[in-house]
Amino acid sequence: MFTSVDDVSARLAETGYLASPAVATTVFLADRLGKPLLVEGPAGVGKTELAKAVAEVAQARLVRLQCYEGVDESRALYEWNHAKQLLRISAGRDETWDEARTDIFSEEFLLSRPLLTAIRGDEPTVLLIDETDKADVEVEGLLLEVLSDFQVTVPELGTITASRRPFVVLTSNASRELSEALRRRCLFLHIGFPEEELERRIVRLRVPGLDEALAKSVVRVVGALRAMDLRKVPSVAETIDWARTLLALGADHLDETVVRDSLGVLLKHQDDILKAGAKLDLDAV
């Protein structure tokens, strides 16, 4: 898919995703070694975006499995379309049981869910397993089979093997420790907050109307907030939101009033806002 690390950075940048060297290197390796990529990091640094950008670059179909508490085999892999099976049975009253049985467990009645969909297709596919840590431990077991062999076994139909391996991205906010076995099958990438320079470029790219000097100030303030001991430090997504807010407010530079009034865009807890306000001397005016 990619010829070199620089190729990864350049092509991701074309889609509007500015990758750090770590991200570009790891994506390149995941493609080269054919291994799933486990991406961890705080919310809003672009983990999901990365999968979307890779899909766009590779002109691949993006199949997404959103994990949540209680997601199970029938939501992740496949299930039988019971209602349709019942209809089929009641429609063909005069056939024998054996005929009906072989018929209702055929492709036509199979509802394939993300994992099976990603494996079955012939076109290039990016499989995004989003917020893996939200799913129960049992689902990890399911993923192990899929990710190590890229195959799924449906008892009635036999084993379905991928003819073309999907590029797999798993994301996690580390709210639950993923099992060692799952981690071992993946390349590991931690996306942290970007370097000042990179973040400034990201902001400029995402908020085109913002002028260079203001973008610089925005990133510096966010950097200062991240160095504070807050409950929830602002992420890249919040930086972009804030830049948009400032643009909408028509602010052409930062001062106490503007920052104080818009701090809520960056910080999501009242005590964080108070703390940051005190540290930045916003109340001194």
* Closest to 158 (Cα-Cα) out of 84, 113, 105, 218: 105
CB of 186 closer than 8 Å to CB of 170: yes
Q: How far apart are CA 275 and CA 168, in angstroms?
A: 40
Rounded Cα distance, 182 and 41, in Å: 17
Total residues contacting another protein (rule CB under 8 A)? 51
Question: Stretches 29-37, 44-52, 150-158, 199-207: which one binds another protein (CB under 8 A)?
Answer: 29-37
Among 231, 249, 252, 261, binds another protein (CB under 8 A): 231
Site string for another protein, 169-208 (x = CB under 8 A): -----xxxx--x--xx--xxxx-----x------------
* 3-class secondary structure, 17: coil
DSSP sequence for 70-122: T--HHHHTEEE-HHHHHHHHHH-TTS-HHHHHHHHTSGGGEEE-HHHHHHH-S
Where does the chain have alpha helices with state H? 5-14, 21-33, 47-57, 73-76, 82-91, 97-104, 114-120, 137-149, 180-184, 196-206, 212-227, 236-249, 256-266, 270-279
Q: With respect to another protein, which residue has the nearer C-beta, 115 or 139? A: 139
Choose between 123 and 180: whose C-beta lies nearer to another protein. Answer: 180
Backbone dihedral angles phi then psi of residue 207, each to the nearest 5 degrees: -120, 85
Answer for which of 104, 259, 267, 276 binds another protein (CB under 8 A) is 259
- CB nearer to another protein: give 49 or 256: 256
Q: Which residues contact 49 (CB under 8 A, 6 or more apart)?
A: 17
Shortest Cβ 263–another protein spacing (Å): 13
Residue closer to another protein (CB basis): 83 or 93: 83
Nearer to another protein, 73 or 136 (CB): 136
Smallest distance from another protein to CB 13, Å: 17
The 3-state DSSP class for residue 159 equals: strand
Smallest separation, CB 151 to another protein (Å): 19
Binding flags for another protein, 67-106, as an x/- string (CB under 8 A): --xx-----------xx--x---x----------------
Least distance CB 128 / another protein (angstroms) = 18
The reply to whether 248 sits near another protein by the rule CB under 8 A is no
Among 14, 32, 157, 249, interactor with another protein by CB under 8 A: 32
Tokens representing 66? 């959103």
Phi-psi region of 41 (alpha: psi -120 to 50; beta: other; left: phi over 0): left
List residues near another protein by CB under 8 A: 5, 21-22, 25-26, 28-30, 32-33, 35, 40-41, 69-70, 82-83, 86, 90, 136-137, 174-177, 180, 183-184, 187-190, 196, 216-217, 220-221, 223-224, 227, 229, 231, 253-256, 259, 269, 271, 280-281
